[in-house]
Amino acid sequence: MKHDYYAGILIALVMLSSCGQMAKDSAKGSEQDNATQIPVFAVTTTEAIRGQIRDYLSLSGDLVSGTTVDAFSDVAGKVTKLYVAIGQRVQKDDPIAEVDPSRPGMSFNTGLVKAPISGTVVALPVQIGMTISQAMPVARLAGSGSLEARTYVAERFISKMKVGLGVELSLDAYPGRIFSGRVRELSPTVDPVSRTMEVRISVQNEDALLKPGMFAKLKIVTEEKSDVVKIPAAAIVRRYGDQYIFTVETDPKDPAITIAQKRIIVPGIIIDDQAEIRQGLEAGSLVVLRGQSLLEDGVRVRVVDTTPPLKAAF
């Protein structure tokens, strides 16, 4: 009986030891499984392409006649009559105003001010009853030929300005339509108060839709490049002084796995959410557009959405 008793105790101890070892093995296996659970980040991608990009300066300005001429009186005296009003069309030698040079006790023939050119009256700085001299303009006429836009560029952008730059003009009067122009003249001086420089732009007005006095929004194209690699600017990550992007690549150890690859880049022109990439990226690469803020080099990723690439032409 004692033999059977001790044998039972021995069997029970063996079973308890076995169960304890199984529990340890199970816990160890669970820890190994947790260690092998690698996070996978969901990302949205787009394709880097080759195309055109332009840098420009957005300004606003007024349309004025490319030719303006002031009409002067040959005599000093009192303005007794005005024949024109602002906005009126006149022909060369049409009467503009009459000036009476008479003085107390002296009577002289009235002087007639005539239009020096054919055009539109854009200013009348005199009024009936006003006394003027020969040096004071009676009226300002805008010629019917060329049209130009005048704008002012801040001092920090002066280095980008040069004669011949292309300009795009848009006006509220013609929504959706773009008119063309070109920088014709740069002022030789900078206004010491506003710290701006005047820029004059010749405007194409072949269909005569544009009128002097209109307000225009201007895009002066300061730089234009073709056949450059470009991506949405939102894909660029800036951290600790570096600028980089992430591309989606196949894991060299397992073709079924995709990973994020960090690439240090050298950007060029960045405008309107388009970025030129001078170094660090090739056309055709899949670039992470959203979800890149949490990525590190080599982490696993899963593409959940794709965004169409930028247009080749800007």
Q: How far apart are CA 139 and CA 145, in angstroms?
A: 18
Q: How far apart are CA 158 and CA 192, in angstroms?
A: 14
Q: How far apart are CA 38 and CA 309, in angstroms?
A: 30
Kindly give the parts of the chain with pLDDT less than 50: 1-2, 13-14, 16, 22-23, 26-35
Topology of domain 56-64+145-225, CATH = Elongation Factor Tu (Ef-tu); domain 3 (2.40.30)
Rg, Å, the chain Cα set? 39
Predicted pLDDT at 14: 47
DSSP state string for 210-229 = --TT-EEEEEEEEEEEEEEE
152 bridge partner residues: 198
Topology of domain 40-53+226-306, CATH = 2.40.420
Topology of domain 69-143, CATH = OB fold (Dihydrolipoamide Acetyltransferase, E2P) (2.40.50)
Predicted pLDDT at 87: 82
The number of beta carbons lying within 10 Å of the beta carbon of residue 16 is 10
Positive or negative CA dihedral for 259, 265, 269, 273? Answer: positive
The model's pLDDT over 183-199, given as tens digits with 9 standing for 90+, comes to 999 999 999 999 999 99
Instruction: Output the pTM of the full model.
Output: 0.64
Q: Domain locations in the chain?
A: 40-53+226-306, 56-64+145-225, 69-143
Predicted pLDDT at 269: 94
Name which of 203, 220, 212, 202 is nearest 153 in CA terms: 220
Q: Which amino acid is at 69?
A: V
Specify whether the CB–CB gap between 266 and 279 falls below 8 A.
yes
Predicted pLDDT at 209: 86
**Residue with tokens 């600017």, as numbered in its chain:** 233
